[in-house]
Structure 1
Amino acid sequence: MADLVAPVRVSPLIKFSRWSLLLLGVSYGAIRYSSLSKKENAIREIEAKQKAIREVKLAQEKERLAKEELAELARAAGVEPLP
């Protein structure tokens, strides 16, 4: 095996700066994640309310279209459609 070279000495100021910036980045990310998740939760609540309204409208539209289709089929078959 090759001889290992002694590690390079790094200035304590550089080490401190690296660790400080790492911790600063981690804390910034945690704060940013927290704020974005709060916004996203608010958006999801609004979308859930809108989804319920949209589903009701779609069900009504589907029922209306089904009645129209049955009436059209009855007319095509020569039968008087139900009211």
Structure 2
Amino acid sequence: MSSVELNPRPVRVSPLIKFGRWGMLSAGILYGLFHQSRLGKKEAAFREVENKRKAIRDKQLAIEKKLAAEAEMKQLEAMMK
């Protein structure tokens, strides 16, 4: 066994240190809530813009697919003649 003895009684922590720890913990939680709500609003606005862009992009892709299918049908008809 080692010759080092452990202190059996816990050390009393100063009330000022306890208050500081709890204060910093509370401040961190409040900051996190504020920051999360701010980032959430930004993300919601970004999603809204992306959804609008996606709708436009989907319409353009549908038109391009339709034109490509029509062009392919014309090529197949020309091959069959």
Identity of aligned residues (%): 49
Cross-structure match for 2:9:
6
Runs of 4+ in 1 over 2 A off after TM superposition: none
* TM-score of the pair, normalised by structure 1: 0.86
* TM-score of the pair, normalised by structure 2: 0.88
Q: CA RMSD in A?
A: 1.1
Gaps of 5+ in 2: 1-6
- Aligned residue type for 1:22: L
* Partner SS for 1:8: coil
1:6 Cα deviation from its structure 2 partner:
1.5
Gaps of 5+ in 1: 79-83
Higher relative contact order (CA 8 A, sep 6+): 1
Task: Tell me whether 1:46 sits opposite 2:49 in the alignment.
Answer: yes
1:1-83 to 2 correspondences below 5 Å: 5-78=8-81
Instruction: Tell me the number of residue pairs that the alignment of Structure 1 and Structure 2 aligns.
Output: 75
